[in-house]
Chain A
Amino acid sequence: MSAILEVRDLATQFDTLDGVVRAVDGVSFDLARGETLGIVGESGCGKSVTALSILRLIPPETGRICGGSIRFAGEELTTLPEEAMKRLRGHRISMIFQEPMTSLNPVLTVGTQIAENVVRHTGASKKAARERACEMLDLVRIADPRRRLDEYPHQLSGGMRQRVMIAMALSCDPQVLIADEPTTALDVTIQAQILDLMVDLKEKTGTAIVLITHDLGVIAETAQRVVVMYAGRKVEEAPVEALFDDPQHPYTRGLMRAIPRLDVDVEEGGRRPRLQEIPGLVPRLTQPIVGCAFAPRCELATGRCRATAPPVVDIGGGHTVACWETVR
């Protein structure tokens, strides 16, 4: 199956008072048509900047894509003129973010905002666009969609707003949807509704999804393939079952052992067991990182790890890992 999105050696940097931050430092992955790819990592690992780079939404005053390529349906995005990029965004590639309230216009009704996007990208009449908006609200299972069209964002709950964002994002049948922490701000029961909805909609529409999250549970729930990022680099990529069954990178393994488990009884003889900690902190990204970025926190690290960054190696079955020690 051909990839709809191909990211190669992407590098994105920001200028800060402390120096140049290498937020994304040579990341490559493919997104196949109709698949859900999860990108997981902790704060500052570069997962959101990767998403913003694909959409070319890096603020030009402070940051830039300084290397690599992003090909969408064969077309190179890093050099595409801004006008062409505007025609793409919200149409063939769209996005949803963590806090829908910051992406919705508070003084326009929900219907107007969805219809506006449809009119802009498809040239539909206002009437047809409003019908489309109504259809989309129904698709995201908002009850009584015709009445909701005339409501303002503040009249909706957090879960409803995220449904509206999804409706808007899907209104022009995009080929790729980028979802950055779409359920992080939501309560558990509402998160469950939105995850169910996203899984159903993907089956219905065939839109490929890049799902960015810090939550391994959400990844396990929705993704088919997973990219694990650390300090701006990809450390591991695998089909979701392989990643959870047989994580290879010491960082991935560390993450899995560090999370408290809801689904298994962990008590040993009535005592609460210790969680496995990953010692230390993530490195500062203002200094160039020599060697493997995880080496200072890694129990397997050797001299070679500290000197030379490990290449991404294919260990079969679509499972790749960047580690000198687990792959020999």
Chain B
Amino acid sequence: MSVLEVDGLVKHFPIHGGLLQRRVGEVKAVDGVSFAIARGETLGLVGESGCGKSTVGKTILKLIEPTAGRIVLGGEDITALKPGAMWQHRRRIQTIFQDPYSSMNPRLAAGTIVGEPLENFGIARGRERDERVAALFQRVGLRADAMRKFAHEFSGGQRQRLGIAKALSVGPDVIVADEPVSALDVSVQAQVLNLLIDLQEERGLAYLFISHDLAVMRHISHRIAVMYLGRIVELAPKRALFARPLHPYTEALLAAATAPDPRRARRKKAIVQGDVPSPAKPPPGCHFHTRCPYAVADCKVTSPPLREVAPGHHVACHLR
């Protein structure tokens, strides 16, 4: 059973303009996104800047209100919950950011940062809280004396461990991880990815893993959703996606990625030209048709629905 279900999620941001700052349009950051994540599963959400992947994450966390659609967390519809009512549910869904530093109070000791949610949610206080914090520190690979340090005293990788400890402290079922290793050097990135996988296997966590990095995605995900201008264009089990990408955009992304192998690398990489169009003015029909080498007349007019073309393999393309 899914711990998180997202159905027809839409988030539009208004654009204001003119002398009176009237609403002149909207950015369709997320434009009808649906998926589900099971316990112990990682769903990777991949796409380039402006595709809406981070907005999906923030909307699910209810850090911003969805325009339409449904978010069901552990069987309960949380879409319309006001902040007060949502608060109780935050124990079950937590987040890890790219830069954990920006989400940490620089004046609090690391132990307090991790222990605070335990108190806020009435999970543990006093000595018990301290013991739990110490166990969390140990679990994420931070030394016990790090509890007295401040966030700025940690290296990037250690801060990310601290961010993970904080997210884990309240015992969530779902973690939304938005580019959690993008700012880290590869040797440290490997440490954090290993930790995330171990924790998932230990605790049955479900991850929504948001990243632009296909190699990281291939490593950590079970299934992958590819987003382009607010929509999922392909959603498939990892192996199927890499073996047989069906959407021309997925194909372009895979061709564009660099490989650490000089013999494979020396080839033309760019199979699509031009830039991603502005999400404020996405092209009609299939959003990708302006860059698609295979586009036909229909692509410019009708938006292709996401269809299941093989077991678990969904694609939104008229040609498949």
Residues of A whose CB lies within 8 Å of any CB of B are 42-43, 157, 159-160, 187-193, 195-196, 214-221, 240-241, 244, 254-256, 258-263, 265-267, 272, 274-278, 281
Nearest CB on A from B199, distance (A): 13
Nearest CB on A from B159, distance (A): 12
* Contact partner, A258, options B187, B214, B242, B256, Cβ 8 Å: B187
Contact residues in A for B194 (Cβ distance below 8 Å): 274-275, 277
Determine whether the beta carbon of B189 is less than 8 Å from that of A258: yes
Tell me which of B186, B215, B268 has the highest count of chain A C-beta atoms within 10 A of its own C-beta: B186
* Contact partner, B239, options A43, A192, A267, Cβ 8 Å: A267
Contacting chain A: which of B52-60, B171-179, B270-278, B309-317? Answer: B270-278
Residues of B244-281 at the interface with A, using a CB-CB cut-off of 8 Å, are 252-266, 268-270, 272-273, 275-276
Q: Which residue from chain B places its CB closest to the CB of A143 in the assembled complex? A: B274
* Contact partner, A260, options B216, B252, B262, Cβ 8 Å: B216
Contact residues in A for B304 (Cβ distance below 8 Å): none
Q: Is the interface of B mostly helix, strand, loop or mixed?
A: helix
Contact residues in B for A254 (Cβ distance below 8 Å): 187
Determine whether the beta carbon of B212 is less than 8 Å from that of A187: yes
Bound Cα distance A196, B255 (Å) = 12
Bound Cα distance A262, B188 (Å) = 18
Q: Which residue from chain B places its CB closest to the CB of A297 in the assembled complex? A: B187
Determine whether the beta carbon of B265 is less than 8 Å from that of A217: yes
Contact residues in A for B263 (Cβ distance below 8 Å): 241
Determine whether the beta carbon of B258 is less than 8 Å from that of A272: no
The 3 closest A-B pairs by CB, nearest first: A217-B258, A192-B256, A260-B219
Please name 26 pairs of A and B residues whose Cβ atoms are closer than 8 Å in the assembled complex, sorted by A.
Answer: A42-B185, A187-B276, A190-B48, A192-B255, A192-B270, A195-B258, A196-B270, A214-B186, A215-B258, A216-B260, A220-B258, A220-B262, A220-B264, A220-B265, A221-B265, A244-B262, A260-B215, A260-B219, A261-B219, A261-B260, A263-B260, A266-B219, A275-B190, A277-B194, A278-B187, A281-B157
* Contact partner, B219, options A42, A157, A189, A272, Cβ 8 Å: A272
Determine whether the beta carbon of B257 is less than 8 Å from that of A244: no
Determine whether the beta carbon of B214 is less than 8 Å from that of A262: yes
Bound Cα distance A12, B186 (Å) = 25
* Contact partner, B275, options A160, A240, A261, Cβ 8 Å: A160
Bound Cα distance A262, B238 (Å) = 11
Nearest CB on B from A254, distance (A): 6
Nearest CB on A from B288, distance (A): 11
Contact string, B143-172, partner A, CB cutoff 8 A, digits 1/0? 000000000000101000000000000000
Bound Cα distance A219, B260 (Å) = 8
Bound Cα distance A277, B270 (Å) = 32
Contact residues in B for A263 (Cβ distance below 8 Å): 259-261, 264
Nearest CB on A from B278, distance (A): 10
Contact residues in B for A278 (Cβ distance below 8 Å): 187, 190
Determine whether the beta carbon of B269 is less than 8 Å from that of A192: yes
Q: Which residue from chain B places its CB closest to the CB of A187 in the assembled complex? A: B48
B191 contacts the other chain (Cβ, under 8 Å)?
Answer: yes
Bound Cα distance A193, B49 (Å) = 16
B295 contacts the other chain (Cβ, under 8 Å)?
Answer: no
Nearest CB on A from B249, distance (A): 9
Nearest CB on A from B63, distance (A): 24
B91 contacts the other chain (Cβ, under 8 Å)?
Answer: no
B225 contacts the other chain (Cβ, under 8 Å)?
Answer: no
Determine whether the beta carbon of A157 is less than 8 Å from that of B275: yes
Determine whether the beta carbon of B186 is less than 8 Å from that of A259: yes
Nearest CB on A from B319, distance (A): 19
Q: Which residue from chain A places its CB closest to the CB of B256 in the assembled complex? A: A192
B142 contacts the other chain (Cβ, under 8 Å)?
Answer: no
Contact residues in A for B242 (Cβ distance below 8 Å): 262, 265
Tell me which of A159, A188, A215, A275 has the highest count of chain B C-beta atoms within 10 A of its own C-beta: A188
B124 contacts the other chain (Cβ, under 8 Å)?
Answer: no
Bound Cα distance A79, B181 (Å) = 42
Determine whether the beta carbon of B215 is less than 8 Å from that of A275: no
Bound Cα distance A255, B268 (Å) = 26
Determine whether the beta carbon of B48 is less than 8 Å from that of A220: no
* Contact partner, A218, options B212, B255, B258, B264, Cβ 8 Å: B258
Nearest CB on A from B275, distance (A): 5
Bound Cα distance A263, B258 (Å) = 9
B218 contacts the other chain (Cβ, under 8 Å)?
Answer: yes
Determine whether the beta carbon of A221 is less than 8 Å from that of B190: no
Determine whether the beta carbon of B218 is less than 8 Å from that of A262: yes
Bound Cα distance A132, B45 (Å) = 44
Determine whether the beta carbon of A220 is less than 8 Å from that of B186: no
Bound Cα distance A258, B255 (Å) = 22
Bound Cα distance A7, B177 (Å) = 43
Determine whether the beta carbon of B260 is less than 8 Å from that of A191: no
Contact residues in A for B190 (Cβ distance below 8 Å): 258-260, 275-278
B197 contacts the other chain (Cβ, under 8 Å)?
Answer: yes
Tell me which of B191, B214, B255 has the highest count of chain A C-beta atoms within 10 A of its own C-beta: B191
B135 contacts the other chain (Cβ, under 8 Å)?
Answer: no
Bound Cα distance A42, B188 (Å) = 10
